[in-house]
Amino acid sequence: MLVVLFCLLPFYWMLVSSLKSPGDILDNQLIPTRPTMMNYGAVFSDQNTFALALKNSLFIAGSVTLIALLFGIFASYALARLNFKAKNIVLATFLATSMFPGVAILTPLFQLFADMGWIDTYQAMIIPDISFSLPLGVWILTSFFRAMPWELEAAARVDGCTPLQAFRQVILPLAVPGVFTTAILIFISAWNEFMIANSISQTPASQPVTVAIAQFTGVSQYDQPFGTQMAAGVIVTVPLIIVVLIFQRRIVSGLTAGGVK
């Protein structure tokens, strides 16, 4: 219970702060004495810039998720089923890649994309996100495919299926919980990415929502944008919470179970 409260307290504070006026934002009250929707109105008042940022984030995160899953499913299945030397080293390399600090490659990436004319484009943000999300997806799915018994494929082959048909018709349907869990984790990671996007995106045309929030100016030109940033944070976070709550059973089963129980 204490762990749950510890995790929910920052979101509750963000929600409470989003309902306060600029004059009350620093009063440290757990319940707003004069709740207002001023900050939410200010979020969408800047010529639909925030709405465009939401669309950009949805496109970028969705593209990263689909591409990472497309390559990750086949790569993880091969790593789980094929026996070859240094397979564990390959898996360790995938895991190490996902933990590599992005700040270490930020400058070379910016220079590379500048030379290619990719600054302020979607692909300049999608490709780096894939490079960090794909290893994580491969690692999770490899463990999931390993839990599936070989007999499933053997039985499908006896019934006349080719290896591709056995994978598509037998293995992949059973792997849905693991694939769905991986998709959620990759999507959240891409949705929350800020550092690379902040350097690559130069105009609102390509800025994701994380960069747009950081550039808020406040309700007026004289106050700090704490309230609008909190309101935008609530707007960005709530859809993710709803998705996780709706599909929590699939996520839990994907994290704790294999293909056959």
With respect to residue 33, please indicate whether it lies within any of the assigned structural domains. no
With respect to residue 8, please indicate whether it lies within any of the assigned structural domains. no
With respect to residue 221, please indicate whether it lies within any of the assigned structural domains. yes
CA distance 23 to 94: 49
With respect to residue 131, please indicate whether it lies within any of the assigned structural domains. yes
Residue-wise pLDDT for 185-233, tens only, equals 899 899 999 999 999 998 989 999 999 888 876 555 555 788 888 888 8
Q: Quick one: pLDDT at residue 238?
A: 83
Q: Are 178 and 141 in contact (CB under 8 A)?
A: yes
With respect to residue 36, please indicate whether it lies within any of the assigned structural domains. no
Q: How far is CA 123 from CA 64, 127, 196, 229, in A?
A: 10, 6, 12, 27
Domain of residue 215: give its range.
Answer: 47-256
Q: Quick one: pLDDT at residue 218?
A: 55
Q: How far is CA 22 from CA 12, 107, 167, in A?
A: 18, 37, 57
In the chain, how many domains are there?
1
pLDDT at 260 over 50: no
With respect to residue 164, please indicate whether it lies within any of the assigned structural domains. yes
Residue-wise pLDDT for 66-112, tens only, equals 999 999 999 998 888 888 888 888 888 877 877 778 888 888 999 99
Q: Quick one: pLDDT at residue 139?
A: 85
Q: Quick one: pLDDT at residue 28?
A: 79
With respect to residue 52, please indicate whether it lies within any of the assigned structural domains. yes
With respect to residue 148, please indicate whether it lies within any of the assigned structural domains. yes
Q: What CATH number does residue 202 fall under?
A: 1.10.3720.10
Q: Roughly how many angstroms between the first and final C-alpha of the chain, as a whole number?
A: 29
Sign of CA dihedral 70, 72, 73, 78: positive
pLDDT-based confidence at 57, cuts 50/70/90? very high
